């Protein structure tokens, strides 16, 4: 297994795939698996290589999942509902006898603090990777790194052209973390549709952590696809008036995957995907309002409530996790097929109809099973069946401290040493980060255009640049100065100001 300091160079500059820099723990990153070899090396793995899921189970001593163990038995809180929630198949005849509700599903995990929510999520994901060949997507949040347990098998997806600044959240004697040092592979996407296409080409049975794009590229177009009567929501980058919470990006992602994703892979199998969204109440809070004042959250929830029915046909499962049912908007709650409660020795499971979530009021559940259960136990139920299950205390390997990744405006616009008359700031993949150069075929138009969702045009076809449309920032953490053009001995510079007051150069235009 590869160890130490090395870096895999991407096959294409547009979507770089970068592999591990430092391996501080000395045990290497997972490459020799059915999924690792194609991701890292770019070719199929030998048949004797294990899957990522098998290696995860071996590393954490997770028992193999036996769906047949959940037959209904007298005196036992068992039924096939737990395997039904986890296993997604095209037809019930294709899978275990306990799976009677095939296809995708929507599940809410109600998990009080100290109940092992992240542990349960990682174990659920591992079973789905192994049994379904599913591509797992877990939401990356700038406030935490709960997914770090599976970092050795993680492909991290980041929005292109955005700076990612890491910091340790614990006192450690290490440099600030970078994505490449913490996961097996890093890839970049330009908008939600590009991300969907790349994920579909990614190997099956993989664990993917996605950080939302603060520019919301493609989200408004994605949310317009369902063609509902609801007023179309708008997404406003942070830094502008009334910015949209970044978590709203997931509305656009789910719509794009549902309506523009491939439903059947090239091998003829269903393109299964399960999306895990932690802190689900932040995405669809019960107290939300609509319109511009409410960031169009109510409209987004209404559209996604209708979209949920299509998600099942598209092979997209959603698992949301929240501390309380009351955190999540009732318009979306009614769409959930499964409910999961986790024990924490303090909160009992529901035992009366008045306590049971609205979609499951018909369930006869009159025993407080959690009264004698420590953390590590859970209940999974529908409106007619329920199963008790147990999950493993996985811990965190490598003594990996908790960290944060903050997404922001690019740090710099380094001066280019080339002889090009026009130089624009780019990221390490060579992609423009603030403005891009545009030239018409006949040469009649030559200008700089600010990247969306910013705006602005600078005509550079004459003797000196001319602002045709005042530029506005494409990033929440920066702006163009009132006088953005500065003349130098070599030509002109287009200036950009970071939130902290630092001036960087967005573009250079040499004298003709």
Task: Give the global pTM.
Answer: 0.74
9 pLDDT exceeds 60?
no
Helix (H, G, I), strand (E, B) or coil at 28: coil
Most confident by average pLDDT, 10-19, 340-349, 420-429, 500-509:
500-509
Residue 225 or 420, more confident = 225
CA angle 219–206–129, rounded 5-degree value: 110
The pLDDT value given to residue 388: 83
Closest listed residue to residue 453, CA positions, set 231, 260, 219, 259: 219
Residue 331 or 435, more confident = 435
Q: How many helices (H) and strands (E) does the chain have?
A: 11, 21
Structure tokens at 137: 């997507």
Direct distance between the N- and C-terminal alpha carbons of the chain, in angstroms, rounded to an integer: 54
Percent of the chain with pLDDT over 90: 28
The pLDDT of 24-31, averaged and rounded, is 55
The pLDDT value given to residue 24: 36
Q: Give residue limits of the domains in the chain.
A: 36-407, 413-510
363 pLDDT exceeds 70?
no
At residue 205 the predicted structure's pLDDT band, cuts being 50, 70 and 90, is: very high
Residue 422 or 75, more confident = 422
The pLDDT value given to residue 413: 43
Query: How many Å separate Cα 391 from the centre of its chain?
Result: 24
Query: pLDDT tens digit string along 118-144?
Result: 999 999 999 999 988 999 999 998 878
175 pLDDT exceeds 70?
yes
Residue 37 or 144, more confident = 37
Spelled out in words, what is the top-level CATH class assigned to the domain 36-407? alpha beta
The pLDDT value given to residue 276: 96
The pLDDT value given to residue 390: 87
202 pLDDT exceeds 90?
yes
201 pLDDT exceeds 90?
yes
Residue 410 or 105, more confident = 105
Long-range contacts of 196-199 (CB under 8 A, 24+ apart): 196/253, 196/256, 196/257, 196/260, 196/261, 198/15, 198/157, 199/135, 199/137, 199/157, 199/273
At residue 15 the predicted structure's pLDDT band, cuts being 50, 70 and 90, is: very low
28 pLDDT exceeds 60?
no
Residue 476 φ then ψ, to 5°: -75, -20
The pLDDT value given to residue 107: 92
The pLDDT value given to residue 494: 92
At residue 18 the predicted structure's pLDDT band, cuts being 50, 70 and 90, is: very low
Most confident by average pLDDT, 92-101, 275-284, 416-425:
275-284
> Is the CB of residue 434 less than 8 Å from the CB of residue 506?
yes
Q: What share of residues in the chain are helix, strand, coil (percent, to 5)?
A: 25, 25, 50
The pLDDT value given to residue 350: 63
At residue 385 the predicted structure's pLDDT band, cuts being 50, 70 and 90, is: confident
Q: What rounded mean pLDDT belongs to the chain? A: 80
Helix or strand holding residue 125 (H, E): helix 117-132
Question: Which residue intervals of 145-296 are DSSP H helices?
Answer: 179-182, 192-201, 219-224, 249-260, 280-283
Of 47-51, 262-266, 442-446, 468-472, give the lowest mean pLDDT range: 442-446
Structure tokens at 460: 């550079």
Residue 283 φ then ψ, to 5°: -80, -45
Query: pLDDT tens digit string along 277-318?
Result: 998 888 877 777 777 777 788 898 889 888 888 998 899 999
């Amino acid at each position: 297994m590869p160890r130490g300091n090395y870096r895999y160079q991407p096959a294409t500059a547009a979507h770089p795939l970068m592999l591990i820099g430092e391996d501080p723990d000395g045990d290497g990153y997972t490459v020799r698996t059915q999924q690792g070899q194609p991701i890292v090396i770019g070719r199929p793995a030998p048949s004797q290589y294990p899957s990522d899921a098998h290696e995860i189970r071996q590393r954490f001593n997770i028992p193999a999942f036996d769906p047949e163990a959940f037959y209904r038995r007298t005196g036992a809180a068992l039924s096939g509902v737990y395997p039904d929630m986890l296993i997604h198949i095209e037809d019930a005849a294709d899978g275990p006898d306990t799976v009677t509700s095939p296809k995708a599903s929507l599940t809410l995990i109600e998990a009080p603090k100290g109940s092992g929510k992240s542990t349960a999520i990682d174990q659920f994901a591992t079973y789905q990777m192994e049994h379904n060949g599913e591509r797992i997507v877990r939401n990356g949040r700038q406030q935490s790194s709960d997914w770090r347990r599976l970092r050795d098998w993680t492909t991290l997806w980041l929005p292109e052209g955005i700076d990612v600044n890491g910091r340790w959240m614990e006192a450690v004697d290490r440099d600030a973390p970078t994505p490449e040092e913490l996961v097996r592979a890093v890839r970049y996407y330009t908008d939600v549709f590009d991300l969907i296409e790349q994920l579909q080409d990614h190997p099956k049975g993989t664990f993917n952590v996605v950080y939302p794009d603060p520019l919301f590229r493609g989200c408004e177009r994605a949310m317009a696809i369902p063609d509902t009567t609801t007023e179309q929501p708008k997404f406003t980058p942070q830094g502008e008036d009334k910015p949209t919470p970044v978590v709203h990006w997931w509305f656009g992602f789910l719509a794009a995957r549902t309506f523009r994703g491939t439903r059947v892979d090239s091998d003829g199998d269903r393109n299964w995907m399960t999306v895990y969204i932690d802190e689900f109440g932040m995405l669809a809070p019960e107290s939300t309002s609509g319109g511009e004042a409410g960031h169009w959250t109510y409209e987004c929830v209404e559209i996604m409530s209708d979209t949920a029915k299509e998600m099942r046909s598209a092979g997209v499962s959603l698992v949301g996790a929240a501390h309380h049912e009351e955190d999540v908007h009732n318009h979306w709650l009614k769409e959930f097929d499964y409910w999961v409660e986790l024990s924490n020795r303090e909160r009992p499971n529901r035992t009366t109809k008045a306590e049971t979530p609205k979609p499951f009021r018909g369930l006869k559940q009159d025993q407080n099973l959690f009264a004698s259960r420590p953390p590590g136990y859970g209940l999974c139920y529908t409106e007619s069946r329920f199963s008790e299950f147990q999950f493993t205390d996985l811990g965190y390997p490598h003594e990996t401290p908790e960290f944060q990744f903050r997404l922001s405006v690019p740090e710099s616009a380094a001066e280019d040493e080339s002889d090009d008359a026009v130089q624009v700031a780019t990221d390490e993949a060579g992609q423009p980060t603030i403005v891009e150069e545009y030239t018409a075929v006949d040469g009649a138009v030559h200008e700089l255009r600010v990247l969306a969702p910013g705006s602005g045009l600078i005509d550079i076809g004459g003797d000196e640049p001319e602002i045709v449309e005042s530029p506005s920032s494409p990033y929440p953490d920066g702006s163009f100065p009132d006088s953005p053009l500065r003349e130098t001995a070599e030509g002109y510079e287009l200036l950009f100001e970071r939130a902290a007051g630092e001036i960087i150069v967005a573009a250079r235009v040499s004298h003709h």
